[in-house]
Copies of this chain bind each other. A is one copy, B any other.
Amino acid sequence: MSVTAARGFRAGSATAGLKPSGRPDVALVVNDGPRDAVAAVFTRNRARAHPVLWSEQVVRSGSARALAVNAGNANCYTGPDGFLVTHRTAEHVAAVLSSLSPGGPEVGGGDVVVCSTGIIGVPLDGGLLLGGLDAAAASLSPDDAASEAAARAIMTTDTRPKAAVHRDPSGWTVGGIAKGAGMLAPALATMLVHLTTDADLDAAALDRALRAATRVTFDRLDSDGCMSTNDTVSLMASGASGVVPDEAAFTAALTDLCRDLGRQLLSDAEGAEHDVAIRVAGAASEDEAVEVGRAVARSALVKTAVFGRDPNWGRILAAVGTTGAAFDPLEVDVAVNGVLVCRAGGPGEDRDRVDLSGRDVEIVVDLHAGASDATVWTNDLTHAYVHENSAYTT
């Protein structure tokens, strides 16, 4: 399933010793072709980790044969040595893959996407990492179990692996794995997500589909407003199905898949007790709808109110007011889980009618300023979030 569901892909994983827990912490995904097309989107944080700087260059060529991921260390702010570790990782994986397939195509370091996740500012032990990758290469397999193990190896504070797959009736498949349980924020890829497809698509088509899909899914997740230095969403195509999909159909399926993975990330976000969908309707533009949704998603007062099961719509409107979006405070409506608690900028239905006992919360803000809408997803702010992020260095 998931990252090996598409034909032409194998996954492997192993324990390099980078996680204090001693759990598996490296994963490899290999594209056996015939195609080696790749696309990716990266964090928009200007402090980008070494593997992001490296992988941006790899993806620019439009082709990649393999993806090497480690958890336990982000290899970010680790100085020039950190970049050398990333470079050596790519060269090492290329050499190992070449040696495993003596008759196969030559693999160079420039064919290897590298991702790291974990603590920032601590040197990444290259010896441990390369040893782990050797073991991961030895375990490469197209089986479901290999995909499942890879999904576990890339976990950090995640409590469970995330995976999804779409098998298209027209003969192609797209699937993937994801990790990320905090530091989810928009304007970037927001996590590590590795997608594979056997559809026969070139890098340009992959790039278009991936950007369209992430724009309305991962880019609109905002768990805690914090933007990571390492986030990467990659999509590799083997072409092994031999099917050239309709691009719109492929993009739609990819978008659904990304939304599914995004929801899995949200529902496992650090310490969260509620998953909150903030739908902004009646906006003058989609951008303004997203701006308003994000402002509400980032309000510590809204997030603590949701944790306390308090439909405190005043805090929602206070957040809306911090944006530049067009709206008249005397016209805006707010509904929480279906109850119109604020009508035309004043008290509406009885807030005691709102039931916030379940995990899912829907906040609808109608600005009455236009015809555009957008949804942003976030979590509540809980004691467990504070505990997890204060008691541990991550």
Listed in ascending order, the chain A residues whose CB lies under 8 Å from chain B are 45-48, 74, 76-80, 82, 119-123, 182-183, 224-229, 298-301, 304-305, 307-308, 310, 312-315, 317-323, 327, 329-330, 342, 344-347, 381-383, 385-387, 389-393
Nearest-Cβ distance from residue A1 to partner chain B, whole angstroms: 33
Contact indicator A183/B301 (Cβ below 8 Å): yes
Instruction: Tell me whether A345 and B79 are in contact (CB under 8 A).
Output: yes
CA distance A19 to B183 in the complex (A): 38
Please, could you name 9 A-B residue pairs with CB atoms under 8 Å apart, sorted by A? A80-B346, A121-B317, A229-B321, A304-B389, A304-B390, A305-B393, A307-B390, A308-B392, A382-B386
A321 vs B342: C-alpha distance in the bound complex, in angstroms?
A: 37
Given A46-B323, A386-B304, CB of A229 within 8 Å of CB of B318? yes
Cβ–Cβ < 8 Å partners of A392 in chain B: 308
A307 and B386 in contact (CB under 8 A), knowing A77-B345, A123-B347?
Answer: yes
A3–B35 alpha-carbon span in the complex (Å): 76
- A225–B381 Cα distance when bound, in Å, is 14
Q: Smallest CB-CB separation from A119: which chain B residue?
A: B314
Given contacts A121-B317, A227-B322, A229-B318, contact A347 B304 (CB under 8 A): no
Per the bound structure, the CA–CA distance linking A315 and B305 in Å amounts to: 26
Docked-complex contact B321 and A48, CB < 8 angstroms: yes
Establish whether residues A226 and B319, one from each chain, have CB atoms under 8 Å apart when the complex forms.
yes
How far, in Å, is A274 (CB) from chain B's closest CB? 11
- Looking at the assembled complex, report how far the CB atom of A139 sits from the nearest CB atom of chain B, in whole angstroms: 31
Chain B proximity of A353: nearest CB distance (Å):
15
- A317/B390 contact (C-beta < 8 A), A121-B342, A322-B46 known: no
Are A347 and B47 in contact, with the CB atoms below 8 A?
no
Interface of A, secondary structure class, is loop
CA distance A225 to B300 in the complex (A): 7
Q: State the CA gap A185–B121 with chains docked (Å).
A: 29
A318 to B52, alpha carbons, bound, how many Å? 14
* Residues of the B chain whose Cβ atoms lie less than 8 Å from the Cβ of A79: 330, 344-347
B226 touches A389 (CB 8 A): no
Contact call B47/A224, Cβ cutoff below 8 A: no
CA distance A391 to B305 in the complex (A): 8
Q: For residue A305, which residues in chain B have a CB less than 8 angstroms away from its CB?
A: 389-390, 393
Q: Which of A224, A317, A319, A387 has the most CB of B within 10 A?
A: A317
Task: For A120, list chain B residues within 8 Å (CB).
Answer: 312, 314-315, 317-318
Known contacts A77-B314, A314-B76, A321-B46, A122 near B227 by CB under 8 Å: no
Q: Which chain B residues border A48 with CB–CB below 8 Å?
A: 321, 329
For the complex, what is the distance from the CA of A322 to the CA of B227, rounded to whole Å?
7
The contact of A228 among B123, B318, B386, by CB within 8 Å, is B318
Q: Residue on B with the closest CB to A226?
A: B301
Contact at A318–B390, with CB atoms within 8 Å? no
Residues of chain B with a CB closer than 8 A to A224's CB: 300-301
- B319–A78 CB distance below 8 A: no
Contacts of A78 in B (CB 8 A): 346-347
Contact A77 B346, beta carbon cutoff 8 Å: yes
For residue A344, which residues in chain B have a CB less than 8 angstroms away from its CB? 79
Which of B119, B226, B342 lies in contact with A299, CB distance below 8 A? B226
Kindly name the residue among A121, A182, A320 whose own CB sees the greatest number of chain B CB atoms within 10 A: A121
- Contact in complex: A342, B77 (CB < 8 Å): yes
Closest CB in chain B relative to A299 CB, distance in Å: 6
CB-CB under 8 A for A320 and B389, given A119-B314, A122-B347:
no
